[in-house]
Amino acid sequence: MERILAVIDRPFFLDGLELDVGASMGIALYPRDADDVPTLVLRADVALDNAKESSNRYAFYEPERDGSDPGRLTLVSGLRAAIEADELTLDFLPTFDLRSGAIVSAEALVRWRHPDRGLLHPAHFLGTASEARQTPALTRWVLDSALRECRAWHDRGWRLPVAVNVDLRSLLDESFVDEIELALNRNGIESELLELEITEETLLTDPERVAAVVTRLSEYGVKVALDDFGSGLSSLAHLQGLPIDGLKIDRSLGARLGTDPTVKPIVGSILSLGNTLGLRVVATGIETRTALRAVAAAKCRFGQGFLLAEPLPSDEFMLVLDYTHQHKPDAVATGAASPLGVGIGGLGALQQGIGGRRA
Ligand code: MG
């Protein structure tokens, strides 16, 4: 392990650029930790999470540190059955224009109504790096369900884009773009109302193939945003010439902005990069008033986070849309005076009225 890390620690040169690359390793041992390959790989994954969360660069699998959730392994394997049994559902997390308070899009987030364990979030059944581990079957389900919902908004007079998180394997599948096209046609949705979110990590895994797919998607009119941006290695070199439409600043940065002085310059440079490239930059993870104030002070126009609105089940999200529609003129007028707008405060009040706790 030490030897592998030492090799990776040496600088890499790519097109004349010196790159500092780090690595984390998770280790599971046969037959101590598991005696079949899928379980062994999943346990190595759990160990990898532990290595990343601690300051150690590698970690052995320890059952007592297993994802605080010993049932996760059976959950992963049960996911396909859950799709067939219709146990999955979507919540919608709105992105706001912080100037006007208007909702500009909604991200579809999957939930599993598990018969024995209650409502589960992706981190419970996919692990902490949940989007990276999402499977193509799940992506396909989310995509189709999200577009159906988008259709329902449409039918109610709302032309609101829906955002879907896409995993690497789906993105690199030959038939992916065709499938997107079919799904859009099936639901009668214009391509520009679909936004696909791919993580920075995905982009870095196979930059050339990802760029080819993103180019095809963009030609077809589908929007693409880079998610969790700023979380990992700098991928600035890969951004060049990549026809993306948006950057979503990693939620760990959004949450720390306003309290951690080292974060401010990072966010500032992401914003100016986004402005230069003409991208929509969204601050995510806005969970405190301090963070919201800092996001507004940094002149980041778009935001997402539990302080603004929690992810809502589709029926409640529809109520919020109707509400903002009714109150829009006031929200815009007042929003002009305050960068945070009155629409958002109204939304918070509305949510407390109609929703319970939905952490
Ligand atoms: Mg996302």
Tokens for 276, please give them. Answer: 């230069």
Tokens for 88, please give them. Answer: 């999955």
The answer to whether 197 touches 248, Cβ cutoff 8 Å, is: yes
Tokens for 169, please give them. Answer: 């394997």
Ligand 1: distance of its center to the CA of 3 in Å? 35
What does DSSP assign to residue 347?
Answer: H
Ligand 1: distance of its center to the CA of 117 in Å? 25
Ligand 1: distance of its center to the CA of 73 in Å? 23
Ligand 1: distance of its center to the CA of 337 in Å? 30
Would you report the helix, strand and coil content of the chain in percent, each value rounded to 5?
A: 50, 20, 30
The answer to whether 140 touches 164, Cβ cutoff 8 Å, is: no
Ligand 1: distance of its center to the CA of 142 in Å? 12
Please give the backbone phi and psi of residue 109, each rounded to the nearest 5 degrees, phi first: -120, 130
Beta-carbon contacts of 134 under 8 Å, excluding residues fewer than 6 positions away, are 122, 126, 165, 166, 167, 170
Q: Please, which residues bridge with residue 247 across strands?
A: 226, 281
The answer to whether 59 touches 27, Cβ cutoff 8 Å, is: yes
Taking the model in full, what pTM does it have? 0.72
Ligand 1: distance of its center to the CA of 252 in Å? 13
Ligand 1: distance of its center to the CA of 225 in Å? 9
Length of the chain: 359
Ligand 1: distance of its center to the CA of 277 in Å? 20
Tell me the CA distances in angstroms from 144 to 17, 94, 184, 188, one per residue in order.
Answer: 41, 18, 8, 12
Q: Please, which residues bridge with residue 194 across strands?
A: 162
Ligand 1: distance of its center to the CA of 197 in Å? 6
Ligand 1: distance of its center to the CA of 266 in Å? 20
pLDDT tens track, the chain, 359 positions: 889 988 888 888 877 878 777 788 999 999 998 888 878 888 888 888 888 777 778 999 988 777 545 555 566 667 778 888 899 999 999 999 998 888 999 999 999 998 888 888 887 777 655 555 667 888 999 999 999 999 999 998 889 999 999 988 888 888 999 999 999 999 999 999 999 999 887 887 788 889 999 999 999 999 999 998 886 655 567 777 789 999 999 888 887 888 888 888 888 888 998 988 899 999 999 988 888 999 989 999 999 999 999 999 999 999 888 887 665 544 333 333 333 333 444 444 444 433 333 33
Ligand 1: distance of its center to the CA of 229 in Å? 10
Which residues lie at CB < 5 A from ion ligand 1? 165, 197, 227
Ligand 1: distance of its center to the CA of 261 in Å? 25
Looking at residue 150, its pLDDT comes to: 96
Ligand 1: distance of its center to the CA of 6 in Å? 33
Looking at residue 127, its pLDDT comes to: 63
Ligand 1: distance of its center to the CA of 132 in Å? 11
Ligand 1: distance of its center to the CA of 271 in Å? 18
Hey, CA dihedral for 55, 60, 64, 66, is it positive or negative? positive
Kind and range of the H or E run holding 201: helix 200-205
Ligand 1: distance of its center to the CA of 281 in Å? 13
Ligand 1: distance of its center to the CA of 93 in Å? 9
